[in-house]
Amino acid sequence: MDNCIFCMILNGEIPSEKVYEDELCVAFKDIEPLAPTHFLVIPRTHVSGASEIGPEMEPVVGHIFGVIAKLAKELGFADGYRVVTNCGADAGQTVPHLHFHVLAGKQLGSFN
């Protein structure tokens, strides 16, 4: 997708600090971390957000959650982490390519 920051990260036009990648998804550190561990997991397929997840993307989303669980064990934050996806303007979504924030490494506050 043209002009999509995360598609540019996927194709290497914009550098990123990758923590994991496979044929379906890529995980890279957030440029403005909100916790000691803060990375984003994105599908390789451009989907604008969670509201556009259709049947073809459902297995990919399940896969992403499995990858996150594996990374939690490997990277040592299995004791606690939060997965967030912001969808749309009211939720504060700023990049219109589906992404899952993974936050860990501190006591995370409640949110509204």
Label residue 20 exposed, middle or buried (CB < 10 Å: 0-12, 13-18, 19+).
middle
Q: Which of residues 46-75 bind ligand 5GP (CB under 6 A)?
A: none
46 binds Zn ion (CB under 5 A): yes
Q: Which is nearer to ligand 5GP, 1 or 31 (CB)?
A: 31
Stretch that binds ligand 5GP, among 25-33, 50-58, 60-68, 104-112 (CB under 6 A): 25-33
* Catalytic residue check, 38: no
- C-alpha distances in angstroms, 106 versus 33, 34, 79? 12, 10, 10
Residue 32 interacting with ligand 5GP (CB under 6 A): yes
> How would you class 26 by CB atoms within 10 Å of its CB: exposed for 0-12, middle for 13-18, buried for 19 or more?
buried
The listed partner (Zn ion, ligand 5GP, none) that binds 92, CB under 5 to 8 Å by sort, is ligand 5GP
Dihedral sign from CA coordinates of 12, 18, 22, 25 = negative
**Site residues (vs ligand 5GP, CB under 6 A):** 5, 14, 16, 28-32, 40, 86, 92-95
